[in-house]
Chain A
Amino acid sequence: MSAPALPSLTRVYGTRARVELREFFRQRESVVFTLAFPVLLLLALGAVLDYDLGAGVGFPQYFMAGVITAGIVGASLQNMAIHIAGERSDGTLKSLAGTPMPASAYFAGKVVQVLAVAVATIVLLLGVGVLVYGIDLPSGGDWLTFAWVSVLGAAACTLLGIAVSTLCRTGRSASATVTPIALVLEFVSGVFLPFDQVPGWLQDVAAVFPVKWLAQGLRSVFLPDALAAQEPAGSWELGRVALVLGAWCVLGLVLCVLTFRWQDRDTR
């Protein structure tokens, strides 16, 4: 008896993409937390802080890069860590592992989810930025930089999020662990305030992590080149942004491959 062929990878990837989009957008808390949080942040901080960064750039224009960084980190790092930890502790992953679904399809679904959530967040933020604060949208080649920096940053943070999910026992403990870490990283990476106001040694700490490079790459998109002088290196360092984010992707991937589990460690 020859068994009929298993469904094609594209078909299963398609299923997983649909499943992940529904799982995310139907869960009110995750939508509010991930999508609305950066928007509220933009509205709140944009209303409170209003100083001139030089070269005629106001705080909202500066903050666009920061709040989009926060949006991408939320859609990737926090979203992955919290929801995969939840899926592991409630048995969803274990159940999937008992089916012929290829593991790659699970991750493909997550990638589609992250991309969709990140794009939705960015579009929302740009819309609010333009309508409420009249920020200048990127022009010409800046869009390309915007795209690759976002994709590379999201990829690194997604992989890290998946790796971190393995350290946390439940979705709730993942949330309690990852949310403060993300906030601190964002703070020292110049997301909420101009990076040159962060103390030098903290800048050095931040430079180890991907968030600072994501934020820096996005600043190059939203700020005039005159402001590059305020960066620690005196330039946007886009080459280094690509290098560090790429290195984090590799490290994240290695961590995922080494640590990923389909069930709680203590149920094996």
Chain B
Amino acid sequence: MVADGRPRPGDPLDPDAAISVRGLVKRYGDRTAVDGLDLDIRRGEIFALLGPNGAGKTTTVEVLEGYRRRDGGEVRVLGVDPARGGRRWKAELGIVLQSGAGDSQLSVRELLEARASYYADPRDPGEVLELVGLTERAGARGRTLSGGQRRRLDVALGIVGRPRLLFLDEPTTGFDPEARRQFWALIRSLRDLGTTMLLTTHYLDEAEALADRVGVLARGQLAEVAVPTALGGRGSAPAVVSWTEDGARRTAETATPTAFVRDLAARFPGEVPDLAVSRPTLEDVYLKMIGGPDE
């Protein structure tokens, strides 16, 4: 295994991984949506799949969930080929689809109770409502929920079965900032319980806050897999130090920001005015990687 934990094409499937993918290909007609994907996700890991619209995130995730047929490659999810996953296998999964869970006349609580009854050892629906912040809307019918509340219901339905592996396809679309923080806390508590998670998102701060590793999917291929702080060589990229001196804003690029700031501090009697040290943000390296506006 290489440092980023990424298998090479042709490596055997990893039997210990929660998810192991080799050479995955998926075509729609003559368009290739996923073009030779290799990936291992460890048990207990949170993996975030990033990528622009149409990159193939949903396609990949839905192949892993057993919804879409692959045109090539090998896939194991919890040791099972998703194309052949049965009831027992599905009982270990939690799925939050990008497209949501459909319409219903049932109340939020009834929906959760019904869903819980399909599983061997479900979470208490009341607790799950609390976790996603829907307790006050427990009696409401799905169609009367706001967009963000609906999405929280999708998340609730995804976790009520106490999954070992949770798929989250853009789970926080439409969440307000507070709901998003609450969701992050929920994800962290699920991680502490050992839940493996595959998450897709367009919010880079979300990937950075939650993921052990992120993968950037572009044009059906994984451009890079790394821990969030190292993506795109971010960890070793020159830092930018900026401060105010003689009434003017100064900036300097340096590979040794600690030494630079020490020297800087020696020039000033007290605080260095408006001192800031920054690295390229995840967004900077991400946009560069997917061939964003700069290129």
A residues with CB within 8 A of B:
3-7, 11-12, 15-16, 18-19, 22-23, 26-27, 86-87, 90-95, 97-102, 263, 267-268
B102 touches A12 (CB 8 A): no
Q: Which residue, A18, A26, A99, has most C-beta atoms of chain B within 10 A?
A: A99
Chain B: CB-nearest residue to A268: B68
Set A5, A23, A97: member contacting B67, Cβ < 8 A: A97
Alpha-carbon separation in the docked complex, A131 to B119 (Å): 49
Known: A12-B118, A100-B118. A6 touches B67 (CB 8 A): no
CB distance from A245 to the nearest CB of B (A): 31
Q: Is the CB of B104 within 8 A of A23?
A: yes
Knowing A3-B120, A92-B102, A99-B161, the reply to whether A15 touches B114 (Cβ < 8 A) is yes
- Decide yes or no: A92 and B104 within 8 Å by CB, A7-B118, A7-B120, A15-B114 being known contacts: yes
Q: What chain A residues lie within 8 Å of B105 (beta carbons)?
A: 22-23, 26-27
User: Which residue of A has the minimal Cβ distance to B65?
Assistant: A98
Q: Are B67 and A11 in contact (CB under 8 A)?
A: no
Partner among B69, B92, B101, B106 whose Cβ is within 8 Å of the Cβ of A95 = B101
Q: How would you classify the secondary structure of chain B's contact residues: helix, strand, loop or mixed?
A: loop
B84 at the interface (CB under 8 A from A): no
Distance A267 CA – B33 CA, assembled complex (angstroms): 13
| A99 with B88: CB separation less than 8 A | no
Q: Are B88 and A6 interface neighbours, CB within 8 A?
A: yes
Which residues of B9-40 have CB atoms within 8 Å of chain A's CB atoms?
none
For residue B156, CB closer than 8 A to chain A, the reply is no
Whether A92 lies near B118 (C-beta < 8 A) is: no
In the complex, what's the smallest C-beta–C-beta distance from A61 to chain B, in angstroms? 37
Known contacts A5-B120, A23-B106, A100-B119; is-contact A94 B92 (Cβ 8 Å): no
Known: A4-B120, A6-B119, A22-B105. A91 touches B99 (CB 8 A): yes
Residues of A near B236 (CB, < 8 A) are: none
A-B contact pairs, 14 of them (CB 8 A): A3-B88, A5-B120, A6-B118, A19-B106, A22-B105, A86-B103, A90-B102, A91-B102, A94-B67, A95-B100, A99-B115, A99-B119, A100-B87, A101-B118
* Closest residue of B by beta carbon distance from A15: B117
Shortest Cβ distance from B66 into A: residue = A98
Task: List which B47-94 residues lie within 8 A (CB) of chain A.
Answer: 65-69, 87-88, 90-93
Chain B: interface residue total (CB-CB under 8 A): 31
In the assembled complex, which residues on chain A have CB atoms less than 8 Å from the CB atom of B69?
268
Q: How far is the CA of A237 from the CA of B87 in the complex (A)?
A: 45
- For the complex, is B159 an interface residue (Cβ under 8 Å from A)? no
Q: Given A6-B91, A11-B117, A268-B69: A94 and B103 within 8 A (CB)?
A: no
Separation of A16 and B119 alpha carbons in the complex (Å): 14
Chain B residues near A6 (CB-CB < 8 A): 87-88, 91, 118-120
Inside 8 A of B90's CB, which chain A residues have their CB? 98-100
Which of chain A's residues have a CB closer than 8 A to the CB of B118?
Answer: 6-7, 12, 15, 99-101
A202 vs chain B, min Cβ distance (A): 39
With A22-B110, A98-B90 already in contact, the answer to whether A92 and B119 are too (CB < 8 A) is no
**Does chain A have a CB within 8 A of B97?**
yes
User: Is A98's CB under 8 angstroms from B119's CB?
Assistant: no
Nearest Cβ in chain A — how far from B80, in angstroms?
13
Across the interface, which residues of B come within 8 angstroms of A5, CB to CB? 120
Q: Counting chain A CB atoms within 10 Å of each CB, which of B66, B104, B110, B161 scores highest? A: B104
The complex places the Cα of A95 from the Cα of B101 at a distance, in Å, of 5
A97 (CB) vs chain B CBs: closest residue: B67
Chain B residue contacts of A16, Cβ below 8 A: 114
Chain A nearest CB, measured from B5 CB (Å): 24
User: Which residues of A are found within 8 Å of B110, using beta-carbon distances?
Assistant: 19, 22
Name which residue of chain B comes closest to A98, CB basis.
Answer: B95
> In the complex the two chains form, what is the Cα distance from A18 to B102 in whole Å?
18
Q: How far is the CA of A237 from the CA of B191 in the complex (A)?
A: 67
B157 contacts the other chain (Cβ, under 8 Å)?
Answer: yes
B283 at the interface (CB under 8 A from A): no
Bound-state CA distance A95–B98 (Å) is 11
Question: Cβ of B102 and Cβ of A95 under 8 Å apart?
Answer: yes
- B121 within 8 Å of A (CB atoms): yes
Chain B residues contacting A268 (CB-CB under 8 Å) are: 67-69
Contact B87 A98 (CB under 8 A): no
- B110 to A, closest residue via Cβ: A22
Report B-chain residues with C-beta under 8 Å of the C-beta of A94: 67, 97, 99, 102
Determine how close the nearest CB of chain B comes to the CB of A13; give it in whole angstroms.
Answer: 10
Which B178-218 residues have a C-beta within 8 angstroms of A? none
Query: Are A93 and B117 touching (Cβ within 8 A)?
Result: no
Q: Which of A86, A92, A97, A100 gathers most chain B CB within 10 Å?
A: A100
For A92, the chain B residues whose CB sits under 8 A away are 101-104
Task: Tell me, in angstroms, the Cα distance from A102 to B87 when the chains sit together.
Answer: 7
The reply to whether A100 and B117 form a contact with Cβ atoms under 8 Å apart is: no
A183 vs B156: C-alpha distance when bound (angstroms):
43
